[in-house]
Amino acid sequence: MSTTVHNNQDEQPPKSSNEIKVKEESNIKVEEEDEEVSEETTTVTMTTRTTDETDKSIQMASLVDSSSKPSNIASGSVMDNEDPNKSVCAQVFDRNPEFYAQALKFLFCFCGLQASYLTWGYMQELIMTTEFNETPSVPSGRFPSAQFCVFSNRFLAVIVAMIAVKLKHGAVYDNNVAPLIAFTPCAISNTMSSWSQYKSLEFVAFPVQTVFKSSKIIPVMIMGKVLKGTKYPFVQYLEAALITLGVAIFSLASKTAEKKVKTEIYGLLCLCTYITFDSFTSQWQDKVYQKYGRSNVDPYQMMLGVNTSAILITSMGLTLTHEWSVVYEFLSYNPSVLQYNIITAITSASGQLFIYYTIKEFGPIVFTIIMTTRQMISIVLSSLLFQHKIGAVAILGAVVVFSVLFSQIRRKYLANQKKKIATAVEVPSK
């Protein structure tokens, strides 16, 4: 059935309410298609009234918008809705705020981690390799105590952790489920790994140290198997072997290419000590999380517990070795070294905070990519700033190491994607 309205050439009768409603619906289509509908249309079928409810609501919303902003609808351009007083960047942000908010957050994490650890690495090498003013106790002019560097880093980290725990939990130690003794084993290993890292720079170049760190996957796997009985697939053993090969190539090639800093056996032993204790630290921390529950021990409480124990250990070590007086004398002759230690402590603490925030917001895979990139940049910066010579063979070894690292990241990413897909498929069936 259809309703027909006859027009007179001389005179048009008043329009009915149905006809006005039909006319409004026609106008909406006219505006969306940018076409002009002839006013001489006289017949409209009743089937136009049986549109989908969703389309109808969209049309009504458009009708309301057209009454307030007719010029915007007529043009059909999204750009017309934007405030001309806003800057270009603000207009771009308004189009997709969630994406750009995440992008800015990632940029914040990336720059924060790079700035913290690149500065920390530079200061670390500057303190341990520079010949400063001679002192009666230190005629060589080299900074005498790697242990003091560890102490200064842990001292500021404890302060930062106390503030964070106090703000989050309302008390510093009262609300901690895990006792301080639970963090002591990993505090000892953390102190030893940091000491070995500083000490190794007296014997090996910073690029060698950086690449050698990548081989800690081997002791990590060993510690995981010994402490927790973890089983690893064949591909991880293969990756560990390739990383070891790349590290060996880089280290041996750097020995012939480097003139000022010899890659000695003692330096390599320090690096082996570093990766062994460092792998124990991460595995023991994971054991603490499993024993007391991740809901009861957050990263800030872990940071507080480990660094509190580390402060006690390093203070005792400095006292027993009588290094307090030697360090004090050296700093009085070289006050700039105290500034370097303060900067190192600040960047170490800020780096830990950026680590927790990045993993929380983007997960461990994104964090690993950022830190692997940082290692590559630090090698380049160290070579330029401290004039380390890296030959073609050494570069080949580094390429092998970082290629395997990025392959690991890709494998973990694909595994996580499969888990997400499997979870998404299982949810509707439950």
Q: What's the pLDDT score for residue 151?
A: 95
Q: What's the pLDDT score for residue 195?
A: 94
DSSP annotation of 4 reads E
Closest CA to 284 of 313, 300, 305, 308: 305
Q: Which helix (H) or strand (E) holds 95?
A: helix 88-95
The SS3 of residue 152 is helix
Q: What's the pLDDT score for residue 87?
A: 65
In the structure encoding, which two tokens stand for residue 308, read together?
């509190």
Query: Block means of pLDDT (10 residues each) for the chain, length 430 residues?
Result: 42 48 47 42 38 43 42 44 61 70 88 94 93 94 94 93 90 85 92 92 86 78 76 84 84 58 74 88 86 86 92 94 95 95 94 87 80 86 85 87 86 82 66
Residues near 378 by Cβ (< 8 Å), separated by ≥ 6?
117, 118, 121, 122, 206, 210
What is the b/e burial string over 349-378, where b = at least 16 CB atoms within 10 angstroms of the residue's CB?
bbbbbbbbbbbeebeebbbbbbbbebbeeb
Taken in order 160, 163, 167, 172, the sign of the CA dihedral is positive
Q: What's the pLDDT score for residue 394?
A: 86
The SS3 of residue 390 is coil
pTM: 0.67
Cα(56)–Cα(30) distance, integer angstroms: 15
Q: What's the pLDDT score for residue 221?
A: 79
Cα(363)–Cα(102) distance, integer angstroms: 13
Closest CA to 300 of 169, 189, 185, 181: 169
Q: What's the pLDDT score for residue 357?
A: 87
Check residue 76 and give left, alpha or beta (phi > 0: left; psi -120 to 50: alpha).
Answer: left
DSSP per position, 277-317: HHHHHHHHHHHHHHHH-TTTS-HHHHHHHHHHHHHHHHHHH
Amino acid at the residue 309: S
Q: What's the pLDDT score for residue 37?
A: 38
In the structure encoding, which two tokens stand for residue 374, read together?
């940082």
Q: What's the pLDDT score for residue 268?
A: 84
Question: Hey, how many other C-beta atoms are within 10 angstroms of the C-beta on 243?
Answer: 23
In the structure encoding, which two tokens stand for residue 320, read together?
């027993």
Cα(155)–Cα(88) distance, integer angstroms: 46
Cβ distance 319 to 147 under 8 Å? no
Cα(302)–Cα(147) distance, integer angstroms: 22
Taken in order 58, 59, 60, 61, the sign of the CA dihedral is positive
Cβ distance 200 to 209 under 8 Å? yes
Q: What's the pLDDT score for residue 66?
A: 42
Cα(15)–Cα(42) distance, integer angstroms: 12
Residue located via tokens 């910073």? 206
Cα 114 from chain centroid (whole Å): 10
In the structure encoding, which two tokens stand for residue 329, read together?
């004398």
Q: What's the pLDDT score for residue 20?
A: 47
Cα(263)–Cα(247) distance, integer angstroms: 13
Cβ distance 151 to 314 under 8 Å? yes
